[in-house]
Amino acid sequence: MSNSQDDALPGSADIMVELIKVSKRYPPDVVALHSVSLTIPRGELFFVIGMSGAGKTTLLKLIATMESPSNGLIEISGSAIHRLRGAQLARLRQRIGVAYQDFKLLLNRTAAENIAISMEVSYKKPQYIAKRVRSLLDQLNLADKHSMIVGELSRGEQQRVTLARAVANSPALILVDEPTGNLDAVTTERVMQLLMSSHKAGATIVVATHDESIYRDRGCRVMELRKGSLVGIFEGQR
Ligand SMILES: Nc1ncnc2c1ncn2[C@@H]1O[C@H](COP(=O)(O)OP(=O)(O)OP(=O)(O)O)[C@@H](O)[C@H]1O
Ligand SMILES: [Mg+2]
């Protein structure tokens, strides 16, 4: 059986994400992140917490290569991302699945089409894509929303479509921003089961969250940001 997580990214075998003294300033004078250093080994399920405005989304956008740091160095799987250009950068981005806090879905397309997009760019067979889309919708309790236009779905449903799109192509690195903010406890559990299955398949996963229930007692590392600075990294229960 092929494991796309293993062969997805070349470079360092052990470290997926490395930040060295990374800062991000937004004009005119917002310091969204201040000198954050962090190492995430390949295969880790890692949580980022902190109050609203602490810098969680900024951190994920930097790791996703959607924003550039003002200072410091970011390496993904051994490559310094500021050195990557064109095809190399595109290839790296294909191996990163991102579930954005504001979703960034195509609102006039169906749930299935939104999820399929991430697989179409890597030339997967249509039958495989169709099967994977149905399986993901089923796992997230959205089977009946397959052919619905995303703009007509509830926020919690859109949030799950966003997650399904992020994991669909089995990316090596999955970044998930506030995945359970609009969900009840039962649906939250579905979301976590899906993330855990990607984790077991070998993906490195970074989850930004306010929801203590999803990191409590999981035995994973939890990093706390406060006003852009790293307060500390705790193991499991806090
Ligand atoms: N594009 C931007 N331009 C200016 N300031 C920004 C921009 N993006 C974020 N910020 C600011 O940077 C800080 C960190 O924002 P960020 O979105 O990373 O916080 P967060 O921890 O994700 O918050 P939340 O829990 O509310 O999602 C905030 O003060 C925010 O206002
Ligand atoms: Mg945020």
**Cα 133–chain centre separation:** 18
CA distance 14 to 78: 9
Asked, for residue 14, whether it belongs to a domain, the answer is yes
Range of the domain at 12: 8-235
Asked, for residue 3, whether it belongs to a domain, the answer is no
pLDDT at 124: 86
pTM as predicted? 0.94
- Torsion 81-83-86-91 (CA) sign: negative
Asked, for residue 38, whether it belongs to a domain, the answer is yes
pLDDT at 2: 39
pLDDT at 148: 98
Q: How many structural domains compose the chain?
A: 1
pLDDT at 208: 98
Asked, for residue 94, whether it belongs to a domain, the answer is yes
Ligand 1: does its nearest atom lie under 6 Å from the Cβ of 33? no
pLDDT, averaged per 10 consecutive residues of the chain (238 residues), comes to: 45 85 96 98 97 98 97 96 92 95 97 94 89 98 98 97 97 97 93 96 97 92 98 80
Protein residue closest via CA to atom 28 of ligand 1: 53
Ligand 1: does its nearest atom lie under 6 Å from the Cβ of 56? yes
- Find the 215 Cα to ligand 1 centroid distance in Å: 22
pLDDT at 121: 81
pLDDT at 3: 42
Asked, for residue 121, whether it belongs to a domain, the answer is yes
pLDDT at 238: 45
Q: Residue 178 is part of a domain; what is its CATH number?
A: 3.40.50.300
pLDDT at 235: 85
Asked, for residue 2, whether it belongs to a domain, the answer is no
Asked, for residue 1, whether it belongs to a domain, the answer is no
